[in-house]
Amino acid sequence: MTQTEKQKITDALRAYVGRYPSQNKAAASLNGVSAATVSAILKGNHDLISEDMWRNVDKQVRPQGAAGWRIVETTSFREIQTALSDAQDFGNVRWIVGDAGCGKSTGARYYAAENNEVFIILCDEDMRKSDFVREIARKVGLKTAGMRLREMLEGTTDYLMQLEAPLLIFDEGDKLNDNVFHYFINIYNRLEGRCGIAFLSTGYIERRLERGVACGKKGYAEIYSRIGRKYYELEPTNAVDVMAVCEANGLTGKKQISHVVEVAQESDFDMRVVRREIHRQKRIAAAKTASESQSNND
C-alpha cells in the first residue's frame, strides 16, 4: 500500500472520528480496531500498522472502498439520500426497498460519511437479540462487556436519546429472524420521535410482512404500523445511470461502455456486476495498450 493511499485512509479516519463525541467512542465503533491503532494512525505512527489493518480501517471509514471507486449520483442514490435525510431530520421510520445490487448499501455509507450521528448496522439471519443490541451499541461507540441484554438496551437507547438527531440504518433488515425482528418494537418504542430509523432491503420484505400480518404472527402488525404501512421503493437503475458510472470511473470508449450496458441489462442492472465489468474492460484496455506499445518498440 502506497503512502498516498495511507494518507487518504488517515484523512477518512480523521473525518470518521470527527463524527463522534470522542476518539475513544469512534474507535469502539470500529470492528477489530483498537483505540491505540486509531491514535497511531492519526498521529502518523504508521510503522507498526499492518497492511491488513490498513485495509480493515479503509473498508469501514471510506464509503468508496480501498480501490478508489467513484460514487455516482444515480437515480436510486439520490432517492436514498432523500429518504435517509427525511428519517434523520424528522425522527421517522423508513423501509427502503430496492433491487439487489442497486446501490442501497453504498448510498447509506455515503450518507453516513457526510452526516453526523448516523449509525449503520449490518443485519444477519444468525443474529440473536443480544447480538442485535450489542451491534447497535458498538456502532454508537458504547462498550458492553459484561452487560446483560436489558442493560445494553437501556444504555444504548439512553445514549441515542441524548443526541441531537441520530439515525439508525439497518442494512439488509429483511434477514433478521422473527425473534430479533419482533424485538425491534422495544427499540422503536423507546426511541419514537427521538431517533430516525431506516431499514434497507430487497422487495422480499413486502411479501414477508404481508404474510406475517395475514397469519397474525406476533409483532408483524406492529412493525407494519411503525413503518407507516408503506415502503419507500427505489426507482430501478437504468442504462443512463450505468453510462454515468462508466465515465466517472475511467471507462470512456463507446464500445466498452455499450458492452457494460449490455452486461448490466442481462443482470437486471446489478451494480456489483457493473463494477466488475468496468474493472474487466479497463484491464483489457490496459493490456491492449501495453501490447501495442511493445509492438511499436520492437
What are 89-126's pLDDT values in tens digits? 999 999 999 998 899 999 999 999 899 999 999 999 99
Indicate if the pLDDT at residue 65 is higher than 60: no
Mean pLDDT of 77-95: 95
Q: In angstroms, rounded to a whole number, what is the distance separating the alpha carbons of residues 235 and 97?
A: 9
Provide the strand spans (E) within the chain: 93-97, 118-122, 167-171, 196-201, 232-233
Average pLDDT, the chain: 91
Pairing of strands 232-233, 118-122: unpaired
pTM (predicted TM-score): 0.89
Mean pLDDT of 271-297: 84
pLDDT in tens, 144-173: 888 999 999 999 999 999 999 999 999 999
Confidence of residue 76 (pLDDT cuts 50, 70, 90): very high
Helix axes 104-114, 75-90, angle to 10 degrees: 50
C-alpha distance from residue 85 to each of 79, 118, 230 (Å): 10, 10, 18
Q: Provide the CATH number for the domain formed by 75-233 in this structure.
A: 3.40.50.300
Q: What residue type is assigned to position 12 of the chain?
A: A
Nearest to 257 by CA among 244, 269, 267: 244
Q: Which helix (H) or strand (E) holds 281?
A: helix 271-297
Q: In angstroms, rounded to a whole number, what is the distance separating the alpha carbons of residues 132 and 128?
A: 6
Confidence of residue 64 (pLDDT cuts 50, 70, 90): low
pLDDT score for 66: 43
How many alpha carbons lie under 13 Å from residue 90 in its C-beta half-sphere? 9
Percent of the chain with pLDDT over 90: 75
